Chain A
Amino acid sequence: MKKIFERPQALTDKPLHYCPGCTHGIIHRLVAQAIDQLGVRTRTIGVCPVGCAVFAYEYFNCDMVQAAHGRAAAVATGVKRVHPDRVVFTYQGDGDLAAIGMAETIHAAARGEKFTTIFVNNAIYGMTGGQMAPTTLVGQKTTTTPFGRDVENTGMPIKVSELLSTIDRAVYIARVSVHNPRHVIQAGRAIRKAFEFQLRGLGFTMVEVLSTCPTNWGLSPLEALTWLEEHMLPVYPLGEFRKPAEEEAV
Chain B
Amino acid sequence: MLMRGNEAFAEGVLRAGCRYTFAYPITPQSEIVHFLARRLPEAGGVFLQVESEVAAVNMVFGAAAAGARAMTSSSSPGISLMQEGISYLVGARLPCVIINVMRGGPGLGNIAPSQGDYLQAVKGGGHGDYRLIVLAPSSVPEIIELMELAFELADTYRNPVLVLGDGVLGQMMEPVAVHEEKPVILPEKPWAVTGQGDRPERNIISSLHIVPEDNERFNRELERVQKEIRRREQRAEEYRLDDADLILVAFGTVARVAKAVVDRARAEGLRVGLIRPVTLWPFPDDAVSRAAARVDGFLVVEMNLGQMVEDVRLAVNGRKPVHFYGRPGGTVPTVREVWNEVKRIKEVTGDKEDLRAAAGTNG
Contact = CB atoms under 8 A, between A and B. Distances in A.
Interface of A: 41-45, 47, 54-55, 57, 61-68, 71, 74-83, 86-87, 103-104, 107, 111
B62 interface: yes
Interface stretch (B46-54, B244-252, B297-305, B331-339): B46-54
Nearest to A40: B195
Given A57-B204, A66-B208, A78 B58 contact: yes
B203 A78 contact: no
A41 B194 CA distance: 12
Nearest to B22: A78
Contact of A63 (B54, B62, B193, B207): B193
Interface string B47-79: 010111011101111111111101000000000
Nearest to B59: A78
B20 interface: yes
A76 B22 CA distance: 13
Contact of B65 (A42, A62, A78, A86): A78
B208 A54 contact: yes
A66 B55 contact: no
B89 to A, nearest CB: 10
A79 B65 contact: yes
A65 B20 CA distance: 18
B204 A63 contact: yes
Chain B, interface size category, equals: 35 or more
Given A44-B195, A57-B204, A104-B58, A79 B66 contact: yes
B358 to A, nearest CB: 48
Contact of B58 (A62, A74, A81): A74
Nearest to B96: A78
A71 B54 contact: yes
Nearest to B88: A68
Given A74-B54, A78-B65, A64 B195 contact: no
Nearest to B61: A75
B199 to A, nearest CB: 8
B148 to A, nearest CB: 21
Which secondary structure dominates chain A's binding surface? helix
A65 B207 CA distance: 9
A66 B204 CA distance: 8
A162 B85 CA distance: 30
B204 A104 contact: no
B84 interface: yes
Given A62-B195, A103-B52, A67 B58 contact: yes
Given A78-B62, A86-B195, 13 more contacts: A41-B196, A43-B197, A45-B193, A45-B195, A63-B204, A65-B62, A67-B58, A68-B84, A74-B54, A79-B193, A87-B195, A104-B51, A111-B48
Nearest to B207: A66
Nearest to A75: B62
B205 interface: yes
A61 B202 contact: yes
Contact of A43 (B56, B92, B195): B195
Contacts of B52: 103
A81 B48 contact: yes
B60 A78 contact: yes
A103 B20 contact: no
The 5 closest A-B pairs by CB, nearest first: A78-B62, A74-B58, A66-B206, A43-B195, A78-B63
Nearest to B85: A68
B85 A63 contact: no
Contacts of A76: 62
